[in-house]
Homo-oligomer: A and B are copies of this chain.
Amino acid sequence: MSGSGKTERRKAAAAKAPVRAVIEAVMPAVDGGRFPIKRVLGEEVVVEADCFADGHDELACLLLYRNDSDAAWESVPMIALGNDRWRAAFTVERIGVYRYTVTAWVDAFLSWRHDFARRVDAEDLLVAAQLGAALIDGVASRAKAGAKRRLAAWAKRLRREQDPAALATLGLDEDLFSLAKEYPDRSFAATHPVELSVRVDRDRARYSTWYELFPRSFGPATGAHGTFKDCGAVLPYVAAMGFDVLYFPPIHPIGRGRRKGPNNSLIASAGDVGSPWAIGALEGGHTAVHPALGTLADFRELIKLAGEHGLEVALDIAFQCAPDHPWVKEHPEWFRWRPDGTVQYAENPPKKYQDIYPFNFDCGEWQDLWNALEDVFLFWIGEGVRIFRVDNPHTKPFAFWEWLIARVCRDYPDVIFLAEAFTRPKIMHRLAKLGFSQSYTYFTWRNTKHELTEYFTELAHDPSREYFRPNCWPNTPDILNEYLQVGGRPAFMARVVLAATLSANYGIYGPAFELMEHIPREPGSEEYRDSEKYQLRHWDLSRTDSLADFIGRINRARRDNSALQQDWSLRFFAVDNEQLICYAKTSAGLDSVFDNIVVVVVNLDPWHTQSGWVDIDLSALGMEKDSTYQMHDLLTDARYLWHGRRNFVQLDPARTPAHVLRLRRRVKSEHAFDYFA
């Protein structure tokens, strides 16, 4: 062997024997622990790992976890599932960050007991008892006073006892066994080298119901610019529909340079109000309020009022500047100037924002810029805002968002960030990994049974669910999907039922939605004609054909049924009709008996009545295969008696294109009749 080999041998001569236990494939973990998984307060983290060792000795495994602010680990024994897979779980009880990992070791005492139990020959038993006594002395040396005495006594009796039968019983004493198990020898434990982490948010990060509106559209009369005060009057209306997040597009002064006119026209006339996303003017920038909306004081008042209606106000953070944003003069170094003295306007192909300058995040003074942008968040947090919808985060560096969200959440762990990134899958996933609490999705463009089934199966069951929390929108000010353009009222009803029941987080852009605004700017466009993005609108909220009441019933169903407040339990069921989609959600908890089960059936055809046989997987719902149960429609309050797997459904889009069915089990009673719980 080579000389260097010899040296290594000498070098090694001090070390203790390497540990024998091996730990692999610890789950859940995002990119090997580079990013945290996500949970909300009170949820469980179920951890699994492959743990094994050479030979045939017994292994012991512990799940270790701690709140980031605690130094000491808590531990839970892991249970062997077979095939060397082990599992344990812990519950997160504080918002912020928890850490977890796995430790395992070859346990000499457990191995001895396993071996002792198989001894038959009397002489063997005596020898094994001596070995056991020595091990138990070791256990005693680690034990607390009381236990120490009992264990030492046990060892002593094992040494003394000569009668094989008595010895066998003594060696396998259950009580002493469980006592000894409390003091294992972990000096040769292997511990997974990565401390995995879980980001714990408040409940609203997992379950939220958003309503987006343009405050300026709620003036007293057509053409009058609405104010925060005017918005106060709308709060009861929004609250009555059962929303809990009220989201405003940017509320800042709007640039005059290159301001856009109605329908995104490049030339604006004097009276045009411009796009709220063209942020900044003489009156101020990202920390100012548009004078026509009122004052900061008015805004704070509105937040307070909204709170009294159970509504939390969310702001839109769009990091970009109109040409007359104060920063353009104060910090020209934050923008990328072209030789002709202009700044190339922002783009998000195919969209062009001629009225907007992007920031140059790589500029020499990038740190000042990043700090200034952080201060924008801190300013609005100071005003009482805790939910931010971030505009086009995918056109700003990932490193910026990871830095910013970490800093904000360290001091304000209750802040929720929604990523408005309609872009390529891996980019959307990266933003979710690095810290965004919720993400916009492709839902708006998933309309057929196949598209919906495939996409929501991915969202609910792929490993990415550990960090990607979908927030589904049937419409936004930027997206009027063709299904809504052509499908009429039934299309709007179907889409809001799908969003609200497929996803625990969803929102609508109103009143355009409940008033079924459906005319595109031009054929083939997804833009609204006369969009509020570029002009004032005035809405008649009292219209008799409004979907406000229907939406209210859906949101009430969400509030009353925990099954609809999370995403992971989603299961699709077969229907023998391609226009009918059927799925169920169950309340969290072990896959035994669920205390809340909701089954949804939607007719995706807005033009024709469709009927078919649904195939309910009762065992997946923890029910007897041939049981009879009641289906209570939470939209119409109708009740149906269903039996077994196959049941008939018919939905007339002209009336209600969907069933949202609360499944009620039949409960045997001591009386002559049964009832449904």
Interface residues of chain A, those whose CB is within 8 Å of chain B, are: 1-2, 5, 8-9, 12-13, 15, 17-20, 22, 24, 31-32, 50, 52-56, 83-84, 123, 126-127, 130-131, 188, 338-340, 342, 347-349, 361-363, 366-367, 371, 374-375, 378, 394-400, 403, 407, 410-411, 424-427, 430
**Could you list some 6 contacts between A and B, CB below 8 A?**
A17-B362, A18-B397, A54-B427, A55-B396, A56-B395, A130-B339
**B residues less than 8 Å from A362 (CB atoms):** 17, 20, 188
Q: Is the CB of B32 within 8 A of A83?
A: no
What's the Cα separation between A223 and B52 when bound, in Å?
Answer: 45
Q: Given known contacts A5-B411, A52-B427, A54-B394, is B399 in contact with A19 (CB within 8 Å)? A: yes
* A266 vs chain B, min Cβ distance (A): 14
What's the Cα separation between A307 and B410 when bound, in Å?
Answer: 69
What's the Cα separation between A371 and B5 when bound, in Å?
Answer: 10
* A558 vs chain B, min Cβ distance (A): 34
The closest CB in chain B to the CB of A336 belongs to B131
**B residues less than 8 Å from A349 (CB atoms):** 56
Q: Is the CB of A424 within 8 A of B52?
A: yes
Copies of the chain in the assembly = 2
The closest CB in chain B to the CB of A400 belongs to B18
Q: Is the CB of A20 within 8 A of B84?
A: no
Task: Please pick, from B17, B53, B127, the residue contacting A340 in the complex, using a CB distance under 8 A.
Answer: B127
Q: Is the CB of A399 within 8 A of B20?
A: yes
Q: Is the CB of A22 within 8 A of B131?
A: no
Q: Is the CB of B9 within 8 A of A371?
A: yes
The closest CB in chain B to the CB of A378 belongs to B1
Q: Is the CB of B1 within 8 A of A411?
A: yes
**B residues less than 8 Å from A131 (CB atoms):** 338-339
Q: Is the CB of A398 within 8 A of B17?
A: no
Task: Please pick, from B9, B347, B361, B430, the residue contacting A22 in the complex, using a CB distance under 8 A.
Answer: B430
Q: Is the CB of B395 within 8 A of A55?
A: yes
Which residue of A55, A342, A400, A426 has the most chain B CB atoms within 10 A of its CB atom? A55
Q: Is the CB of A426 within 8 A of B339?
A: no
Q: Given known contacts A399-B19, A411-B2, is B83 in contact with A424 (CB within 8 Å)? A: yes
**B residues less than 8 Å from A130 (CB atoms):** 338-339
**B residues less than 8 Å from A348 (CB atoms):** 56
**B residues less than 8 Å from A378 (CB atoms):** 1
Q: Is the CB of B17 within 8 A of A361?
A: yes
* A142 vs chain B, min Cβ distance (A): 19
What's the Cα separation between A53 and B427 when bound, in Å?
Answer: 8
Q: Given known contacts A338-B131, A426-B24, is B411 in contact with A54 (CB within 8 Å)? A: no
With A1-B411, A15-B367, A127-B338 already in contact, 7 other A-B pairs whose C-beta atoms are closer than 8 Å: A1-B407, A5-B410, A17-B366, A20-B397, A32-B32, A83-B426, A127-B342
Q: Given known contacts A20-B399, A398-B54, is B427 in contact with A84 (CB within 8 Å)? A: yes
Task: Please pick, from B83, B366, B394, B407, the residue contacting A5 in the complex, using a CB distance under 8 A.
Answer: B407
Q: Is the CB of B83 within 8 A of A425?
A: yes
**B residues less than 8 Å from A55 (CB atoms):** 394-396
The closest CB in chain B to the CB of A394 belongs to B54
**B residues less than 8 Å from A19 (CB atoms):** 399
Which residue of A20, A342, A403 has the most chain B CB atoms within 10 A of its CB atom? A20
**B residues less than 8 Å from A396 (CB atoms):** 54-55
Q: Is the CB of B426 within 8 A of A50?
A: yes
Task: Please pick, from B20, B366, B397, the residue contacting A398 in the complex, using a CB distance under 8 A.
Answer: B20
The closest CB in chain B to the CB of A403 belongs to B18
Q: Is the CB of A395 within 8 A of B5?
A: no
Q: Is the CB of A22 within 8 A of B398?
A: yes
**B residues less than 8 Å from A17 (CB atoms):** 361-363, 366, 397
Q: Is the CB of B18 within 8 A of A399?
A: yes
Q: Is the CB of A339 within 8 A of B411?
A: no
**B residues less than 8 Å from A374 (CB atoms):** 1
Which residue of A54, A56, A84, A397 has the most chain B CB atoms within 10 A of its CB atom? A54
What's the Cα separation between A130 and B130 when bound, in Å?
Answer: 89
Q: Given known contacts A340-B127, A362-B17, A367-B13, is B5 in contact with A397 (CB within 8 Å)? A: no
What's the Cα separation between A127 and B366 when bound, in Å?
Answer: 25
Task: Please pick, from B31, B188, B371, B399, the residue contacting A24 in the complex, using a CB distance under 8 A.
Answer: B31
What's the Cα separation between A349 and B55 when bound, in Å?
Answer: 10
**B residues less than 8 Å from A424 (CB atoms):** 52, 83-84
What's the Cα separation between A361 and B188 when bound, in Å?
Answer: 13
**B residues less than 8 Å from A15 (CB atoms):** 367
Task: Please pick, from B24, B31, B397, B430, the residue contacting A430 in the complex, using a CB distance under 8 A.
Answer: B24
Q: Is the CB of B426 within 8 A of A84?
A: yes
What's the Cα separation between A2 and B127 when bound, in Å?
Answer: 65
